[in-house]
């Protein structure tokens, strides 16, 4: 295809607007905007494969984009459990909006947890709170075949500045973001697995779209391939190695928040099924509709799926709040828990939507019905591919060969 240099279109946010000051207030505001804004625009976002501008603008308006920024830097300092609830609240209304929010939180977690204490990243995160900047990520790369823990591109230092070019296969909402967090080799001599994270701000880069994004689902994430050309100050290279930031932050935040948002999609599908069955029950008072049994079964599956991500979010928060606890995230046992969660959640979600489809029947199969589940189904199918489940399962299998239970 012909390459297009993107024009950016991020909207400014009024920093003087009163924003929720507690997580409870924020969750209420996010639930409300999910219903009144995200759900309303979800069909056109999906149909036109366009960025969910309305949702993101509403989320910025209530300060949701800085929920993951630590309190000392002006954010709400939300825990994993809290961020997961925010993502699932949005994804039930619009899967793409929920995914954008989750991916943004993942990038903030990496910056706050591994860049914290350096003047550049502290100031950057303070400014992000004010401006509600949106951060995208580029981990995938042409030639690494979906393996996020290797890079071909390398950051090149030249005095106080770096240059970094990358040919990414998939870059969600990169054309709509204020910054991108990029994985690359530490320098031109480093092996493929010796990676670092580099933050490139809008003023530091040019991106050129190289492929299209006409997908089955998650169409509003707008995730085609991009060529990145960037130059910026070396302070924007996140301290430490990506091996650590991946295990301690990128992977747990990705897998727990994704599991929560996929559950949100399943829960919304279940809600439609429940409404459909109750409507049937009202029509024939005194009898239990035939599909109520399936509904009870679906409710049970949904509960198990919810407990899976909630338990691991709680466990993450408990470990993380212990002095030195973050080291535990480097263990094989924790890595396996994350792998198991990602695979089971991404497999359970399409099954849950399928159950809802069976319960509702033809009205769920139709695209123009209030019970339609086409978008839920298609969005849910992306989970198994977002870092291939087979790739993750192969890593789990090799870990299990050497893991010693304690
Ligand atoms: C909605 C969505 C949004 C995304 N957003 C971003 C983003 O913002 N930034 C970004 O960098 N990336 C993003 N990605 C890319 C994503 O994270 C993966 O890197 C990409 O989808 C993997 O592509 P692949 O399936 O071709 O690669 P692969 O992982 O190479 O898989 C290709 C095939 O090989 C098989 N396979 C691979 N390894 C093994 C193995 N060990 N054993 C058995 N079979 C194996 C797989 O099962 C699959 O069939 C996004 C993807 C999706 C779906």
Instruction: Put residue 105 in one of left, alpha, beta given phi > 0 → left and psi -120 to 50 → alpha.
Output: alpha
What does pTM read for this prediction? 0.95
CB 195 near ligand 1, within 6 Å: no
- DSSP 8-class letter at 217: S
CA dihedral 139, 140, 142, 144 (to 10 degrees): 90
Ligand 1: nearest atom to the Cα of 172: 8
Question: 391 CB under 6 A from ligand 1?
Answer: yes
Which protein residue has the closest C-alpha to ligand 1 atom 44? Answer: 390
Cα distances (Å, whole numbers) of residue 322 to 112, 317, 327, 328: 17, 9, 10, 10
Distance from CA of residue 98 to its chain's centroid?
7
Among 67, 66, 44, 69, smallest CA distance to 54 is for 44
Q: Is the CB of 174 under 6 A from ligand 1?
A: no
Residues 6+ apart with CB under 8 A from 361: none
Among 217, 347, 390, say which to mutate for ligand 1: greatest number of ligand atoms within 8 Å of CB: 390
Q: How far is the CA of 313 from the centre of ligand 1 (A)?
A: 24
Ligand 1 midpoint to CA 335 (Å): 18
List the pLDDT tens digit at each of the 406 positions of the chain: 333 444 344 556 665 568 999 999 999 999 999 999 999 999 999 999 999 999 999 999 999 999 999 999 999 999 999 999 999 999 999 999 999 999 999 999 999 999 989 999 999 999 999 999 999 999 999 999 889 999 999 999 999 999 999 999 999 999 999 999 999 999 999 999 999 999 999 999 999 999 999 999 999 999 999 999 999 999 999 999 999 999 999 999 999 999 999 999 999 999 999 999 999 999 888 889 999 999 999 999 999 999 999 999 999 999 999 999 999 999 999 999 999 999 999 999 999 999 999 999 999 999 999 999 999 999 999 999 999 999 999 999 999 999 876 6
Contact 377, 339 (CB under 8 A): no
Give the helix/strand (H/E) hosting 326. none
User: Does the C-beta of 385 come closer than 6 Å to ligand 1?
Assistant: yes
Put residue 146 in one of left, alpha, beta given phi > 0 → left and psi -120 to 50 → alpha.
left
How many Å lie between the centroid of ligand 1 and the Cα of residue 388?
Answer: 5
Query: Is any atom of ligand 1 closer than 6 Å to the C-beta of 387?
Result: yes
Mention every residue, 6+ apart, whose C-beta is less than 8 A from residue 162: 155, 156, 198, 231, 232, 233, 234, 236, 237
Ligand 1 centroid–CA 95 distance in Å is: 19
Structure tokens at 367: 């695209």
């Amino acid at each position: 295809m012909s390459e297009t240099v993107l024009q950016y279109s991020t909207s400014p946010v009024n920093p003087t607007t009163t924003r929720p000051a507690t997580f409870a207030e924020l969750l209420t505001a996010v639930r409300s905007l999910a219903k009144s804004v995200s759900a309303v625009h979800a069909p056109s976002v999906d149909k036109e494969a366009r960025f969910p501008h309305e949702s993101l603008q509403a989320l910025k308006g209530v300060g949701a984009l800085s929920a993951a920024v630590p309190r000392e830097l002006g954010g709400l300092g939300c825990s994993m459990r809290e961020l997961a609830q925010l993502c699932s609240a949005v994804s039930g209304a619009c899967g793409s909006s929920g995914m954008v929010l989750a991916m943004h939180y993942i990038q903030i977690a990496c910056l706050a947890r591994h860049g914290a204490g350096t003047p550049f990243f502290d100031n950057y995160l303070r400014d992000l709170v004010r401006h509600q900047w949106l951060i995208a990520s580029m981990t995938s790369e042409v030639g690494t075949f979906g393996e996020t823990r290797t890079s071909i591109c390398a950051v090149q230092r030249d005095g106080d500045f770096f240059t970094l070019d990358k040919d990414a296969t998939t870059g969600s909402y990169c054309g709509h973001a204020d910054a991108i967090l990029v994985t690359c080799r530490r320098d031109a001599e480093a092996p493929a697995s010796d990676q670092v994270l580099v933050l490139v701000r809008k003023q530091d880069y040019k991106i050129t779209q190289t492929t299209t994004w006409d997908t089955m689902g998650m169409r509003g994430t707008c995730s085609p391939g991009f060529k990145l050309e960037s130059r910026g100050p070396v302070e924007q290279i996140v301290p430490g190695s990506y091996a650590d930031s991946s295990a301690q932050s990128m992977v747990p935040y990705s897998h727990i928040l994704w599991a929560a948002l996929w559950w949100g999609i399943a829960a919304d599908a279940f809600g439609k099924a429940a409404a459909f069955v109750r409507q049937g029950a009202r029509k024939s008072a005194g009898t239990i509709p035939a599909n109520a049994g399936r509904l009870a079964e679906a409710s049970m599956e949904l509960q198990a799926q919810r407990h899976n991500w909630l338990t691991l979010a709680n466990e993450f928060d408990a470990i993380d709040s212990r002095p030195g606890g973050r080291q535990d995230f480097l263990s094989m046992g924790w890595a396996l828990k994350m792998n198991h969660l990602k695979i089971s959640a991404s497999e359970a979600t399409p099954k849950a939507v399928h159950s809802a489809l069976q319960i509702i029947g033809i009205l769920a199969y139709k695209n123009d019905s209030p019970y339609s589940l086409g978008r839920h189904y298609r969005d849910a199918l992306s989970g198994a591919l977002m870092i291939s489940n087979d790739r993750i399962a192969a890593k789990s299998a090799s870990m299990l060969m050497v893991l010693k239970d304690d």
